């Protein structure tokens, strides 16, 4: 192993498990030895033990040295225990279910084709079952190489959207060479876009009763239709995987809420410090609020979920990027001051309720999904409290019987670029029905190259599905077959709206609360 790899291993070993927490007690002066050091001490102790002869010991009492050489079986050993998914023992107990998003071994020497193959392989059976339930089971299910002209059949594959305006590395290289490219666009859709269905054997172009602009790359789908004489599959109908029935919610005795926020976007030019102070004071002194509805909500907050983008992306001074390093090495980045302000904010809120911190695209975490938890050293004060939790993006968790799943919004933003779906909450609903948190990974949204699993597949239907850093607050109660109900929430950016979203855990009703002034109020 090279020297750089060794250094990388030693650095990443200090990352804290999101399932673990710290206490409010002050940090002792003498730190605990790490598990690695402890194992070395045990190994050294074993080496110091004299070896016993293989023959049977002589009669009589054992020598003193032999008795001292026996190691105590109660000696603790270093072990890494993953978070175990267990049933909640209390109606408001929190369980972190995001273990599948943690990266234990980072290997970038594989191709992304494995991720598509794993996605199709994992979802083929459940999509096949959905197709049989939707259409007549007598309609044959075929592979593309077995198609017969004009014969009606069912195909199952993964969609690829061919887009002429989609950004690519070739176009970026052309820019560097001085070629003029297309101007920046809000969306990359074009009338010439095509949908292509792919499977293990080959691919085929889709046409007919399927809207190209309503789909993106990476969706596993079943299509009913036939192949025409031009080699195009004419679609009559289509379907996706069936949603699993979520667990019945047990109502809490009292009204309990989860408060969502996102997009603080702090920087040296931020103007929302008064609004953040209003948020902090309202949570810490909720009983002093005059408005009864707001007082009821803020005094019963179980968790405060921050869905990414704590700091602004342009925190690096542009004037210093082209200067020599020896001229700028003593200059402190403005992002450091922004993170210090965030730490102070979280430390005050953590005295009142639990905080779940999800990284966003602007935060000091790798931009590739799934984003790993922010290091506790980013929050030197608030991370000492057991109520502060640094978590992954996406974030999957459970409170009592209620299951919640969400992201910082990159998946919704990317789908908005690749389609003509106008409503962000509709994109959320589509992701739910498609059965994938982020189908455009890894085509137009960066992600880790998984080989043996696809963590973005939604195997169990959540009760709440949310996305942060959206242009405005939107919510909808999705109603599916078998009385399935899922609350969809688009959380607005706090820097733009000065609002948070409160979710009632009993009724799944959402309310937007404004902290623009010193007195918080509900937005009707």
Whole-number Cα distances in Å, 121 to 66, 125, 129, 200, 318? 59, 8, 14, 10, 47
Do both 194 and 294 map to the same domain?
no
Do both 343 and 217 map to the same domain?
no
The helix/strand/coil state of 341 is helix
Do both 211 and 297 map to the same domain?
no
Tell me the average pLDDT of the chain.
Answer: 82
Do both 163 and 226 map to the same domain?
yes
3-class SS letters over 408-469: CCHHHHHHHHHCCCCCHHHHHHHHHHHCECCCCCCCCCCECCCCCCCCCECCCCCCEEEEEE
What pLDDT does residue 343 have?
A: 95
266 part of a folded domain: yes
67 part of a folded domain: no
Stretch 34-59: mean pLDDT: 44
77 part of a folded domain: no
pLDDT band at 106 (very low <50, low <70, confident <90, very high): confident
pLDDT band at 166 (very low <50, low <70, confident <90, very high): confident
Rounded distance between C-alpha atoms, residue 268 and residue 251, angstroms = 44
3-class SS letters over 309-327: CCECCCCCCHHHCCCCHHH
Which residue, 380, 377, 373, 383, is CA-closest to 350?
Answer: 383
54 part of a folded domain: no
What pLDDT does residue 269 have?
A: 83
Q: Check pLDDT > 70 for residue 58.
A: no
Which residue, 490, 488, 479, 483, is CA-closest to 508?
Answer: 488
Contact criterion met (CB below 8 Å) for 386 and 399: no
Cβ neighbours of residue 41 closer than 8 Å, sequence gap 6 or more: 33
Domain boundary among 239, 263, 287: 239
Rounded distance between C-alpha atoms, residue 213 and residue 195, angstroms = 9
Do both 147 and 194 map to the same domain?
yes
pLDDT band at 35 (very low <50, low <70, confident <90, very high): very low
Do both 376 and 259 map to the same domain?
yes
Contact criterion met (CB below 8 Å) for 152 and 257: no
More confident residue, 32 or 127: 127
Rounded distance between C-alpha atoms, residue 275 and residue 252, angstroms = 31
Rounded distance between C-alpha atoms, residue 196 and residue 212, angstroms = 10
Do both 424 and 514 map to the same domain?
yes
453 part of a folded domain: yes
pLDDT digits (tens, 9 = 90+) for 406-429: 999 999 999 999 999 999 999 999
pLDDT band at 82 (very low <50, low <70, confident <90, very high): very low
pLDDT band at 73 (very low <50, low <70, confident <90, very high): very low
The helix/strand/coil state of 371 is strand
Q: Judging by beta carbons within 10 Å of its beta carbon (0-12, 13-18, 19+), is residue 208 exposed, middle or buried? A: middle
428 part of a folded domain: yes
pTM (predicted TM-score): 0.80
Rounded distance between C-alpha atoms, residue 264 and residue 496, angstroms = 9
Stretch 18-46: mean pLDDT: 43
Residues of the domain holding 194: 113-239
Percent of the chain with pLDDT over 70: 76
| The token pair that represents 414 in the structure block | 């990317």
Whole-number Cα distances in Å, 466 to 248, 355, 364, 429? 20, 17, 22, 10
Q: Check pLDDT > 90 for residue 328.
A: no
**Residue with structure tokens 């690096």?**
316
Rounded distance between C-alpha atoms, residue 23 and residue 401, angstroms = 26
Cβ neighbours of residue 368 closer than 8 Å, sequence gap 6 or more: 446, 447, 448
Which residue, 305, 374, 363, is CA-closest to 338?
Answer: 363
What pLDDT does residue 333 have?
A: 58
Beta-strand ranges (E) seen in 341-387 are: 354-358
Do both 217 and 277 map to the same domain?
no
pLDDT band at 171 (very low <50, low <70, confident <90, very high): low
**Cis amide bond preceding 206, omega within 30:** no
Rounded distance between C-alpha atoms, residue 287 and residue 282, angstroms = 9
420 part of a folded domain: yes
**Residue with structure tokens 């250094």?**
7
**The domain spanning residue 130 has which CATH number?**
2.40.50.430
What pLDDT does residue 266 have?
A: 92
What pLDDT does residue 103 have?
A: 92
Do both 127 and 177 map to the same domain?
yes
Do both 181 and 261 map to the same domain?
no
- What DSSP character marks residue 370? S
pLDDT digits (tens, 9 = 90+) for 467-487: 999 999 999 999 999 999 999
More confident residue, 264 or 319: 264
Q: List residues bridging with 470 in a β-sheet.
A: 492
Rounded distance between C-alpha atoms, residue 335 and residue 316, angstroms = 7
Domain boundary among 200, 223, 239: 239
51 part of a folded domain: no
Stretch 263-285: mean pLDDT: 92
Do both 379 and 507 map to the same domain?
yes
pLDDT band at 175 (very low <50, low <70, confident <90, very high): low
pLDDT band at 256 (very low <50, low <70, confident <90, very high): very high
Rounded CA Rg of the chain? 27
Do both 301 and 443 map to the same domain?
yes
Contact criterion met (CB below 8 Å) for 431 and 202: no
More confident residue, 18 or 464: 464
Helix H or strand E segment including 39: helix 35-48
Domain boundary among 217, 239, 261: 239
Sequence-ordered alpha helix ranges (H) in 143-195:
169-176
Structural domain tally of the chain? Answer: 2
**The domain spanning residue 261 has which CATH number?**
3.60.21.50
pLDDT digits (tens, 9 = 90+) for 221-243: 999 999 999 999 999 999 999 99
Provide φ and ψ at 175, rounded to 5°: -65, -40
């Amino acid at each position: 192993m090279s020297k750089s790899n060794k250094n990388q291993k030693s650095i990443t070993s200090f990352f804290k498990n999101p399932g673990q927490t710290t206490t409010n007690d002050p940090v002792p002066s003498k730190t605990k030895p790490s598990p690695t050091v402890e194992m070395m001490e045990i190994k050294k102790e074993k080496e110091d033990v004299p070896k016993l002869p293989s023959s049977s010991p002589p009669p009589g009492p054992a020598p003193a040295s032999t008795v001292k050489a026996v190691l105590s079986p109660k000696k603790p050993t270093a072990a890494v225990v993953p978070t175990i998914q267990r049933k909640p023992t209390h109606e408001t107990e929190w369980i972190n279910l995001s273990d599948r998003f943690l990266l234990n071994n980072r290997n970038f020497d594989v191709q992304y084709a494995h991720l598509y193959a794993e996605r199709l392989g994992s979802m083929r059976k459940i999509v096949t079952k959905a197709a049989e339930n939707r259409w007549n089971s007598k309609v044959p299910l075929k592979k593309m190489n077995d198609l017969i002209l004009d014969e009606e059949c069912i195909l199952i594959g993964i969609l690829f959207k061919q887009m002429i305006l989609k950004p690519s590395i070739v176009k970026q290289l052309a820019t560097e060479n001085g070629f003029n490219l297309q101007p920046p666009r809000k969306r990359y859709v074009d009338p010439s876009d095509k949908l292509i269905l792919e499977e293990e054997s080959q691919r085929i172009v889709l046409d007919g009763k399927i809207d190209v602009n309503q789909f993106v790359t990476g969706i596993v789908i079943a299509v009913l239709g036939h192949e025409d004489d031009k080699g195009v599959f004419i679609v009559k109908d289509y379907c996706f995987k069936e949603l699993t029935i979520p667990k019945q919610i047990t109502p809490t005795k009292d009204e309990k809420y989860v408060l969502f926020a996102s997009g603080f976007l702090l920087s040296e030019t931020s103007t929302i410090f008064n609004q953040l102070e209003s948020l902090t004071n309202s949570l810490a002194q909720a009983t002093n609020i005059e408005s009864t509805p707001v007082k009821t909500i803020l005094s019963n907050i179980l968790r405060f979920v921050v869905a990414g983008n704590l700091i602004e992306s342009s925190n690096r001074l542009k004037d210093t990027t082209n200067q020599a390093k020896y001229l700028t090495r003593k200059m402190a980045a403005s992002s450091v001051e922004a993170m210090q302000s965030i730490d102070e904010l979280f430390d005050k809120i953590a005295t009142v309720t639990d905080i779940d911190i999800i990284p966003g695209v602007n935060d000091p975490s790798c931009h590739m999904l799934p984003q790993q938890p922010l290091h506790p050293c980013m929050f030197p004060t608030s991370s000492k409290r057991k109520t502060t939790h640094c978590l992954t993006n996406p974030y999957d968790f459970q409170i009592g019987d209620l299951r919640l799943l969400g992201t910082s919004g990159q998946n919704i933003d990317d789908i908005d670029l690749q389609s003509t779906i106008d409503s962000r909450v509709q994109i959320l609903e589509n992701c739910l029905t498609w059965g994938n948190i982020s189908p455009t990974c890894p085509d137009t949204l960066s992600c880790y190259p998984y080989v043996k699993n696809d963590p973005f597949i939604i195997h169990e239907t959540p009760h709440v599905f949310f996305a942060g850093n959206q242009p405005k607050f939107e919510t909808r109660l999705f109603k599916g077959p078998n009385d399935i109900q899922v609350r969809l929430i688009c959380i607005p950016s706090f820097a733009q709206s000065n609002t948070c979203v409160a979710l009632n855990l009993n009724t799944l009703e959402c309310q937007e609360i404004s902290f623009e002034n010193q007195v918080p109020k509900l937005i009707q």
